[in-house]
A and B are shown apart, each in its own frame.
Chain A
Amino acid sequence: MSSIGTGYDLSVTTFSPDGRVFQIEYAAKAVDNSGTVVGIKCKDGIVIGVEKLIASKMMLPGSNRRIHSVHRHSGMGVAGLAADGRQIVARAKSEAHNYESTYGEPIPIKELADRVASYVHLCTLYWWLRPFGSGVILGGYDRDGPQLYMVEPSGVSYRYFGAAIGKGRQAAKTEIEKLKLSELTCRQGVIEVAKIIYGVHDEAKDKTFELEMSWVCDESNRQHQKVPEALLEEAKAAAKAALEEMDAD
C-alpha cells in the first residue's frame, strides 16, 4: 500500500523525494473508494456498467445517474466524486461538439479520450487547482470500430479491452479476464457485466445498490443509450441466479 507523504503532500505542485505527487495519488483514492464501474469491448460494441451505491432509501430509483452520453456515438461511466465527474462529462460534451462544428464529422473516440485526458491532467499542474477526484471509463463507436478508454485522475489515458475502477476493481478485472471478449456480442456482454457487478458487490460492507448499464453497439445503431429495460431485467435476473449458484456451493 502507499505511504503517507508527510510534508510533500500539501500541494499538487510538490514532488516527493522519490518522485511522486501525493495529491494525485490521494485523488485516486477517492476513485478507489467509490462504487465499481466496469467497461468491456465486445466484438460489436461497448458495454458499461455501474454499481450505484444507494445512500438513502428516500432516493428515487434512476436518479443520480453515473453513466452519461457524451455524443451520439459515445458515453462515459463515472467513478469517484460525483460533482467532479459531472465536470469531466461537461467538458467531454463540449469538446465533442466543438470538434464536430469545426471538422464536420463526429469526434473520433481516440481524439475525445486524448482531450479529456489533457483536461484532467491540466488540473494537476497548478497549485490553485485541485486534481479531479474522479475517473471515467469512456466507450464509443466511431468509423474505426468500438473503442474503450479509461481516464484516471492523474490524466493518464489508455485504451482497453476491459477496464474497471472503484471498490471492486480487482475482483472485476479478474472476472473480465476470464471472458472471451472477441467472441461476445453486446447482448451477451450485458449479461456478463451484470454478473460481474453483482459478484463484486460486498453485501456486508456496503448498502444496497442499483445497477446502471449502457451500451453502444450495432444493435443500438451505434448510438449510446441505456440498455433496454427488458434486457436489463434479464441481466439482473441472470446475475442474481449466478450469485445464488455461487452461494449454494
Chain B
Amino acid sequence: MDRDATADVNAPHSMGTTIIGVTYNGGVILGADSRTSTGLYVANRASDKITQLTDNVYICRSGSAADSQIVSDYVRYFLHQHTIQLGQPATVKVAANLVRLLSYNNKNMLQTGIIVGGWDKYEGGKIYGIPLGGTILEQPFAIGGSGSSYLYGFFDQAWKEGMTKDEAEQLVVKAVSLAIARDGASGGVVRTVTINNEGVTRNFYPGDQLPLWHEEVEAHNSLLDILNASSPEPMST
C-alpha cells in the first residue's frame, strides 16, 4: 500500500490471464478472462483472448500480448495456405503443430503460452497445450496463464471424462471465475467459445454476474451515478 503507485504505462502489454480448454462429449470449449495489464495498469479490461485461426480451430493466448498475436497471425496465414492446398479444412493437430514449431524455434524471443482447441471430422474435439518452451501435449483439458496456478487442484477434483456441453461450459465459467477471484492479473469478463460439428458459438459472462467466492464483496454501481441522480443531495444525514 505504501509502494509508489505509478504504473509503468510503457511496459510491454502482458496478459496475466487465465485460459482454459476442455473437451466434452462432442467438441471442445475454450474459456478465458479478459484482463490485459501493463505493469499494474489494466490496459484493456475487456480483451478477447480467444482468437480464431480457421473456421474450426481457435486458440487461447497468454503471456506477452504482442508475441501471442504475432504467432497466431503467422499460424493463421500458414493454415490458410494449407487449407487451399489440401482442399479441405485443416485438422486441429496440424494447427497445434504449426504453433509449436514457431514457439519452439523462437523460444529465445517469445514468451507466450497457447492452448489450441477445435473440432475436425477425423478426431472430433481436441485440445493441445503449448506452454512456454514449445512442448506440445494433447490433453483432455488444459489450463494456462498466471491464474491457472489456482486451478490445478480444482480440476483434479471437478474434471470428468465425457461431460455434456452444458456441464463443460459451467465448469469452464466456474473455473475462470475462481481464478479471477484469486489472481490479480486476471479479471474482467469471462468469454467462452464452443466448437463442435455444428460450428462455433461464442458466449459472454459479465464480471458482475459471476458467482461470488469466499470473502468476495458484492459489486455495486459506481458512485458516479450519484451525479445523474435526480436529488441534488449526494449525502443524507
A residues neighboring B (CB under 8 Å): 102-105, 108, 110-111, 114, 143
Q: Enumerate B109-132 residues with CB–CB distance to A below 8 Å.
A: 122
Check if A111 sits within 8 Å of B85, measured CB to CB.
yes
| Chain B: CB-nearest residue to A108 | B86
Check if A103 sits within 8 Å of B98, measured CB to CB.
yes
Check if A104 sits within 8 Å of B85, measured CB to CB.
no
- Least CB distance, B74 to chain A, in whole angstroms: 13
The answer, among B87, B91, B96, B97, for a CB contact under 8 Å with A102, is B97
Contacting residues, chain A, for B9 (C-beta < 8 A) = none
The answer, among A103, A110, A114, for a CB contact under 8 Å with B97, is A103
Q: Report the separation of the CA atoms of residues A110 and B86 in the bound assembly, to the nearest whole angstrom.
A: 8
Check if A104 sits within 8 Å of B96, measured CB to CB.
yes
Contacting residues, chain A, for B82 (C-beta < 8 A) = 103
- Chain B interface, >50% SS class: helix
Contacting residues, chain B, for A102 (C-beta < 8 A) = 97-98, 101
The verdict on A111 contacting B93 (CB below 8 Å), with A102-B101, A103-B98, A143-B122 known, is: no
Check if A111 sits within 8 Å of B86, measured CB to CB.
yes
Is the CB of B94 closer than 8 A to any CB of chain A? yes
Q: Report the separation of the CA atoms of residues A157 and B101 in the bound assembly, to the nearest whole angstrom.
A: 32
B residues neighboring A (CB under 8 Å): 82, 85-87, 91, 93-94, 96-98, 101, 122, 136
- Least CB distance, B84 to chain A, in whole angstroms: 12
Contacting residues, chain A, for B93 (C-beta < 8 A) = 104-105
Check if A103 sits within 8 Å of B94, measured CB to CB.
yes
Contacting residues, chain B, for A108 (C-beta < 8 A) = 86
Contacting residues, chain B, for A114 (C-beta < 8 A) = 85
Contacting residues, chain A, for B85 (C-beta < 8 A) = 111, 114
Q: Report the separation of the CA atoms of residues A108 and B93 in the bound assembly, to the nearest whole angstrom.
A: 14
- Least CB distance, A187 to chain B, in whole angstroms: 27
Contacting residues, chain B, for A143 (C-beta < 8 A) = 122
The 8 closest A-B pairs by CB, nearest first: A104-B97, A103-B94, A143-B122, A105-B93, A104-B93, A103-B97, A105-B94, A104-B94
Q: Report the separation of the CA atoms of residues A105 and B93 in the bound assembly, to the nearest whole angstrom.
A: 8
The answer, among B87, B91, B101, B136, for a CB contact under 8 Å with A105, is B91
